[in-house]
């Protein structure tokens, strides 16, 4: 008797729970898989030399025939940045709204994948049939226009994924959220809600974009010289506010930084930015203009060492100088880990004599988060009234806080699933339980290498970064094993060689005497020679310096 | 006619302005030098492998006969941590209050310097004659008892240094600030004030320690199981509050973590901690006790990977396990740069099932800063009414903010000196001006090495950490320059070697053919051979991988 597999619904994350970034969620029913988002994240501090991190998609590759497509909720890197890697291995249709698709296409063009990718434009009215499932959408407020949440209708019921969201009652450019459609979904019945936990630790409500616009205009009006404003390139609302404030205060805007120039151009073309005729000027033109007629819109709000703002602060930018008395606005919150970079950039700007507006948006008024705070998360939960709740987008502690919020609005504790990447929540006959685990993890990208840097390489980089390396080379005779040349010791990153000749000479003597002793004892397998040299030298160096450099013995034979 | 040097007053920092940490300030009149504080700081993220950083004291060494002593304001590492290095080179008397001296003596004992150091106990009533200058003191509130500010009476007038301070009207253990003495100093006349800028960016007042005590007791009372509380070992007020709250809720306290055990023992012996009989128990005893009778007082409030709390969170601590339902309190603010470590520790604790109280003290109530906020800084300025003001203790932006505060209370802009380490403020006949510059900088300590790691070594460590290293070895014949062995390539931290054999084989062929070509062209100086090999290999690897590992060519000759 053959065992028949029972069809059931599976929901899981391949990225984006227990971490911020590389978002990727999977909804599967029987032989149909729908993927939501395909992001990247930036490396953690122990991932030395790594450029970016994307999700491990082994599960999708093993089930490639079942994947009906990838739905993208909005155009931020942590939702689209993995596409150019994933599509190379898994060429499935992608679905995205107009601006999101515009931003994706730029990436695919750069990666040479534009022609081969099945790109599908959706809007909030679209309905997609994806195997046995149907996807529909609702508009949300976020720090980039054209953001949507997704409802996947499955044979077990509706699975709703909010994407990133907040509730802004006075948004920029009338990008209202589809609160009625959310309510309607809730009335019809939501089996499972996956909701954004980024700000689950923040009490209250996130401020409205409108108050930010007013504040920025106020700063522009009071500034007696140039205004330089740095924000995330992807924050198109903020960019619109800068343009509006410039118009109101009779200033012109010049755009600096590659990603900012890109985004302004795409969003402008697609109609997501209202840019008055003649508003944008070239960087070269600002020197001919009165200082109080100029706004410089720039990247670098995270104090990144190579960004335009940091280069301007260090007076190494080719086109724009910041002068004493200029006003610099940093309209962004530092991402955890970047505080010191931002602080350093502020220091440098102040040393030039600039007036700098920085710090928490709650104090400066020139920035608000794109993510809803606790009251908004509760509102979403109350609108959707889900039977089951899976907090997503966040470190573990944020997911936990979101779970506490869900309990507080009446979702039973046993119906809340705080999961790790790869943990499957299975639903059968309306009942959910934690199921098995699928492969999930980090794929590290270093230069052109995708996944070729793993724990061993990272461990070596860590070691090298702490105390450097000593290479010990010796040439032995093939015939009798005698030392023909060396031992020579070359070090890098260990000590300043010119001032440590004595130490290195002594190290050399220790290696030589160790080798001679071993030979006199007829130890001549290379592995054994190397181990003994490593041990003796390591011990000596630790005694002398309390450092443990990597020691690399190399034996040549002639 | 010989030129007579005019005697004048010089004030400058060798550490602690434009940075947080390694505080060291100098007041000099003619042939007398008084040093205030001698701290360390922890390395910045680009100081790879460095353990700690201390001030460059070249100026003091060049003027060693003039140095009358080092006054220490309080017992925190950023004020005492440099002593065991500095005293080795400059054995001058040190002056400190009882607890401060107790903490210093532990360090000197470990460094083997206790016997040789001239240690002088002071209290807030002391007056020290230091050459032509006289030092007196005033008690301040800070997060460690026995903190003082210093007034140096010089022939030009009084120079006041606040040390670290806040104003706490309801302090722990009745450690009141000498507000009357500060007022008296102000009435008599202060020539120059050097004041703590750490919290100059924070509006309002810093909360009182008393509210923290109440909150901690409340948490202890409500917790149904063990309470684990992590704080800075040096925060003796917080430790007292923990003991008081334990007493009030009939719990016993066990102390975990080497520095915490040290501090509790010294502060207890010296009478700075009131510890009821039988309150402290050994870690081994807690397993025999009811969970709701136990408090674990621990280090690790910064999420440091090797700290006691982190090990407990990872269930790798030898003595203490954290169980589901236990309450963990993190009573400290993350130092900038440590946010991710703290976050990770919170995640791990929550995964175990602990109830975790963490986040800004303003929300949790279980922590307040030891430094005064803007209103307190203004109060100090108004009490002292200095003619000249030099903000100290802080990054440049904090010094700037403090300068703005000083202007707001009426100090003329031209009388405020925002300086860098080494910038001398000179006072002659009551008039101050920015003078020359003395040597100031960072001395990096790596293991036993003091100052032997400089920019070249750090640059190499950085390079090694990013893309690793390739060592290329070849043995040439002394007679005709022919290749006798190799080229061999060994890599570390570059790629996972087992999966990159093709790449490394090809690299090998490129090195071999480069060498052969050079030899056929009669290029045989080693430097030239090495450069060509490096270039050819570097180019190939960058094309193939977009990585730039360090390449180390080694030529052996037989």
Which sequence spans correspond to the domains of chain A?
9-204+369-450, 209-362, 468-557
**pLDDT score recorded for residue A2:** 47
What per-residue confidence (pLDDT) applies to B238?
Answer: 93
Kindly indicate the confidence band of residue A407, based on its pLDDT and cuts at 50, 70 and 90: very high
User: Looking at chain B, which residue has its C-alpha nearest residue A404?
Assistant: B355
The Cα of A129 is separated from the nearest Cα of chain B by a number of Å equal to 38
Tokens 């903010």 sit on residue: B401
Q: Which pair of tokens denotes residue B191? A: 């020539």
| Strands A9-15 and A24-29, bridge-based pairing | antiparallel
Active-site residue flag, A355: no
- Residue ranges in B189-334 assigned as alpha helix (H): 209-222, 236-248, 258-269, 308-313
CB contacts, 8 Å: A355 with chain B: none
The reply to whether B357 touches chain A by the CB within 8 Å rule is no
pLDDT at res. B416: 98
Interface touch A395/B343, C-beta < 8 Å: yes
| Of B350, B447, B495, Cβ closest to residue A397 | B350
Closest CB from B339, B456, B464 relative to A469: B464
Cite the DSSP H helix spans in A48-159: 58-62, 77-80, 83-89, 98-110
CB atoms within 10 A of CB B208: 18
Instruction: Give A 443-482 residues with CB within 8 A of chain B.
Output: 446-449, 452-454, 456-458, 460-469, 471, 473, 475
User: How far is residue B236's CA from residue B73's CA, in Å, rounded to a whole number?
Assistant: 16
CA gyration radius, chain B? 29
CA distances from B102 to A170, B82, B96, B123, B146 (A): 60, 16, 9, 13, 11
- Find the angle CA(B69)-CA(B73)-CA(B75) to the nearest 5 degrees: 110
Whether residue B366 lies within 8 A of chain A, CB to CB, comes out as no
> Hey, what CATH class is B209-360 in?
alpha beta
Which is higher by pLDDT, A211 or A159?
A159
Chains A & B: contacts with CB separation below 8 Å:
196
Best CA proximity match to B503, nearest among A463, A448, A472: A448
Q: What is the dihedral of CA A30, A36, A42, A43, to 10 degrees?
A: -10
Minimal CA separation from A397 to chain B, in Å: 5
- Whether A336 and B343 lie within 8 Å, measured CB to CB: yes
CATH classification code of A9-204+369-450: 3.60.15.10
Contact between B492 and A343 using a beta-carbon 8 Å cutoff: no
Q: Which of B333, B459, B468, B498 to mutate to test the interface with A (most CBs of A within 10 A)?
A: B468
Under a CB-based contact definition with an 8 Å cutoff, are residues B483 and B475 in contact? yes
Give the per-residue pLDDT at B478: 84
| Residue A499 pLDDT | 80
- C-alpha A555/C-alpha A487 separation (Å) is 9
Give the range among A77-86, A193-202, A330-339, B56-65 with minimum mean pLDDT.
Answer: A330-339
State both tokens at B300.
């690790």
Q: How far is CA A1 from CA A4, A11, A102, in A?
A: 9, 30, 53
pLDDT score at A340: 87
CB A80 within 8 A of CB A73: no
Q: Which residues contact A470 (CB under 8 A, 6 or more apart)?
A: A489, A490, A491, A494, A507, A537, A541, A549, A550, A551, A552
Find out whether A240 and A217 touch, Cβ atoms under 8 Å. no
- Residue positions counted in chain A: 558
Q: How many CB atoms sit inside 10 A of residue B206's CB?
A: 21
The terminus-to-terminus CA distance of chain A in angstroms comes to 69
Taking residues A61-72, report their average pLDDT. 97
In this structure, are residues A213 and A410 in contact, taking their beta carbons and an 8 Å threshold?
no
CA-nearest of B408, B420, B363 to B382 is B408
Q: How many helices (H) and strands (E) does chain A have?
A: 16, 26
Calculate how close chain A gets to B354, using CA atoms only, in Å: 11
Q: Which whole-number Å values give the CA distances from B367 to A528, B239, B241, B370, in the listed order?
A: 56, 12, 11, 9
Residue contact B465–A467, C-beta within 8 A: no
Average the pLDDT over A284-303 and give the result: 94
On chain A, the residues whose CB falls within 8 A of the CB of B547 are 49, 446-447, 449
Dist CA B192 CA B8 (whole Å):
14
The percentage of chain A sitting over the pLDDT mark of 70, rounded to a whole number, equals 99
Pair B247, B276: CB distance under 8 Å: yes
Here the tokens at position A301 are: 């709000």
Residue A298 is assigned to a ligand binding site: no
Residues 6 or more apart whose CB falls under 8 angstroms from that of A144 comprise A74, A75, A76, A99, A234, A235, A236, A237, A370
Distance from CA of A452 to the nearest CA of B (A): 6
Which residues of chain A have a CB within 8 Å of the CB of B336? 339-340, 343
Q: Which CATH number fits domain A468-557: 3.40.50.360, 3.10.20.580, 3.30.2130.10, 3.90.1150.10?
A: 3.10.20.580
Contact A503, A549 (CB under 8 A): no
CA atoms of A271 and B68, how far apart (whole Å)? 72
Instruction: Compute the distance between CA of residue A452 and CA of residue A442 in angstroms, rounded to an integer.
Output: 12
B461 vs A448: CB contact, 8 Å cut-off? no
Of B371, B393, B402, B532, catalytic: B371
Does B371 qualify as catalytic in the annotation? yes
d(CA B411, CA A215): 30
| Beta strand pairing call for A32-36 and A67-71 | parallel
Reading the block at residue A277, the tokens are: 């005729």
Q: Find residues 50-109 of chain A whose CB sits inside 8 Å of chain B.
A: none
- Report A:480-519 residues touching B (Cβ under 8 A): 484-486, 488, 490, 492-496, 499-500
Q: What is the pLDDT of residue A173?
A: 74
Judge: B457–A468 Cβ closer than 8 Å, yes or no: yes
Chain B CA closest to residue A467: B49
Nearest to B196 by CA among B148, B157, B234: B148
**pLDDT-derived band at A289, boundaries 50, 70, 90:** very high
The span from the CA of B391 to the CA of B17, in Å, is 8
Residues 164-183 of B with CB under 8 A from A: none
Distances (CA, A) of B250 to A171, B173, B196, B293: 54, 20, 39, 6
Question: In which band, very low, low, confident or very high, does the pLDDT at A242 lie, cut at 50, 70 and 90?
Answer: very high
- For the range B277-283, what are the long-range contacts, defined as Cβ-Cβ under 8 Å and sequence gap of 24 or more? B278/B252, B279/B243, B279/B246, B279/B247, B279/B252, B279/B253, B280/B252, B280/B253, B280/B254, B280/B255, B281/B252, B281/B253, B281/B254, B282/B254, B283/B254, B283/B256, B283/B319, B283/B320
Sign of CA dihedral B60, B395, A346, A370: positive
Q: Which residues of chain B have pLDDT under 70?
A: 1-4
Q: For strands B133-139 and B148-154, give the pairing.
A: antiparallel
Q: How far is the alpha carbon of A484 from chain B, nearest alpha carbon, in Å?
A: 6
Torsion sign across C-alpha atoms A362, A368, A370, A375 = positive
C-alpha distances in Å from residue B537, one per residue of A554, B334, B503, B534: 19, 44, 11, 5
Find out whether the peptide bond into B356 is cis, omega within 30 degrees of 0.
Answer: no
Mean pLDDT, rounded, for A474-495: 88
A268 is in an annotated binding site: no
Tell whether domain A209-362 is in CATH 3.30.870.10: no
Q: Do A495 and B461 touch (CB under 8 A)?
A: no
Rounded distance between C-alpha atoms, residue A133 and residue A129, angstroms: 6
| Count of residues making up chain B | 558
d(CA A472, CA A452): 27
Residue A1: per-residue pLDDT = 43
Compare all CA atoms of chain A with the CA of B551 and give the residue at the minimum distance: A492
The alpha carbon of residue B184 is apart from the nearest alpha carbon of chain A, in Å, by 35
pTM score: 0.90
Q: What is the β-pairing status of strands B192-196 and B157-161?
A: parallel
**Mind giving me the DSSP string for B338-379?**
-HHHHHHHHHHHHHHT-EEE-S-HHHHSS---SS--HHHHHH
Q: Between chains, do B471 and A466 touch, taking CB under 8 Å as contact? A: no
Out of A74, A317, A355, A371, pick the active-site residue.
A371
Residue A4 pLDDT > 70, yes or no? no
The pLDDT value recorded for residue B2 is 47
Task: Return the SS3 of B478.
Answer: coil
Other Cβ atoms within 10 Å of A424 Cβ, number: 21
Query: Quick one: DSSP state of residue A41?
Result: B
Residues of A in contact with B461 (CB under 8 A): 464-466, 468, 493
Cβ contacts (< 8 Å) between B45 and chain A: which residues? 45, 340
ipTM of this complex = 0.87
Q: Quick one: CA dihedral B223, B226, B232, B235, positive or negative?
A: positive
Q: Catalytic: which of B196, B244, B326, B467?
A: B196
User: Cα(A307)–Cα(A349) distance, rounded to whole angstroms?
Assistant: 14
| Cα Dmax for chain B | 88
φ and ψ at residue A255, rounded to 5 degrees: -110, 130
**Cβ-Cβ contacts under 8 Å for A348 (sequence gap 6 or more):** A310, A313, A314
**Given an 8 Å threshold on Cβ–Cβ distance, is B397 in contact with A545?**
no
C-alpha to C-alpha distance for A40 and A53, rounded to whole angstroms: 6
Residues of B in contact with A333 (CB under 8 A): none
């Amino acid at each position: 008797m053959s065992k028949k597999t029972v069809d059931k619904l599976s929901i899981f994350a391949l990225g984006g729970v227990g971490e911020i970034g590389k978002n990727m969620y999977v909804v599967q029913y029987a032989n149909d898989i729908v993927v939501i988002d395909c992001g990247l994240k930036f490396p953690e501090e122990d991932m030395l030399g790594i450029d970016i991190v994307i999700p491990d998609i082994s599960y999708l590759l093993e089930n490639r025939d079942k994947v009906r497509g990838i739905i993208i909720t909005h155009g931020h890197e942590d939702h689209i940045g993995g596409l150019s890697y994933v599509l190379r291995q898994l060429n499935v249709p992608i679905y995205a709204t107009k601006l999101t698709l515009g931003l994706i296409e730029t990436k695919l063009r750069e990666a040479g994948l534009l022609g081969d990718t099945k790109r599908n434009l959706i809007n909030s009215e679209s309905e997609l049939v994806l195997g046995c499932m149907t996807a529909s959408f609702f508009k949300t407020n976020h720090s980039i226009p054209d953001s949507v949440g997704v409802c996947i209708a499955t044979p077990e019921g509706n699975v709703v994924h909010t994407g990133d969201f907040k509730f802004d009652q006075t948004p920029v450019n009338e990008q209202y959220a589809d609160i009625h459609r959310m309510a309607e979904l809730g009335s019809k019945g939501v089996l499972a809600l996956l909701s954004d936990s980024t700000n689950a630790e923040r009490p209250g409500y996130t401020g409205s974009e409108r108050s930010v616009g007013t504040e920025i205009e106020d700063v522009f009006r009071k500034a007696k010289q140039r205004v330089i404003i740095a924000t995330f390139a992807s924050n198109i609302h903020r960019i619109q506010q800068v343009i509006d404030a410039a118009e109101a205060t009779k200033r012109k805007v010049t755009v600096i930084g590659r990603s900012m120039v890109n985004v302004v151009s795409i969003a402008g073309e697609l109609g997501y930015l209202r840019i008055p005729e003649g508003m944008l000027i070239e960087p070269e033109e600002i020197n001919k203009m009165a200082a109080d007629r100029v706004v410089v819109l720039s990247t670098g709000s995270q104090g990144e060492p190579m960004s335009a703002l940091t280069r301007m602060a260090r007076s190494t930018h080719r086109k724009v100088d910041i002068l004493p008395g200029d006003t610099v606005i940093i309209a962004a919150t530092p991402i955890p880990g970047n505080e010191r970079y931002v602080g350093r950039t502020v220091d440098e700007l102040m040393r030039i004599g600039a007036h700098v507006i920085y710090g928490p948006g709650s104090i400066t008024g020139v920035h608000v988060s794109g993510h809803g705070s606790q009251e908004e998360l509760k509102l979403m939960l109350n609108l959707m009234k889900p039977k089951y709740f899976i907090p997503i987008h966040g470190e573990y502690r944020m997911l936990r806080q979101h779970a506490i919020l869900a309990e507080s609005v009446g979702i039973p504790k046993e119906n809340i699933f705080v999961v790790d990447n790869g943990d499957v929540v299975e639903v059968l006959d309306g009942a959910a339980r934690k199921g098995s685990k699928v492969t999930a993890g980090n794929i590290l990208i270093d230069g052109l290498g995708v996944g070729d840097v793993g724990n061993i390489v990272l461990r070596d980089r860590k070691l090298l970064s702490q105390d450097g390396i000593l290479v010990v080379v010796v040439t032995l005779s093939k015939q009798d094993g005698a030392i023909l040349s060396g031992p020579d010791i070359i070090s890098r990153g260990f000590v300043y060689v010119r001032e440590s000749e004595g130490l290195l000479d002594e190290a050399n003597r220790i290696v030589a005497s160790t080798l001679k002793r071993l030979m006199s004892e007829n130890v001549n397998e290379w592995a054994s020679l190397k181990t003994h040299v490593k041990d003796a030298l390591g011990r000596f160096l630790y005694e002398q310096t309390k450092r443990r450099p990597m020691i690399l013995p190399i034996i040549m034979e002639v």
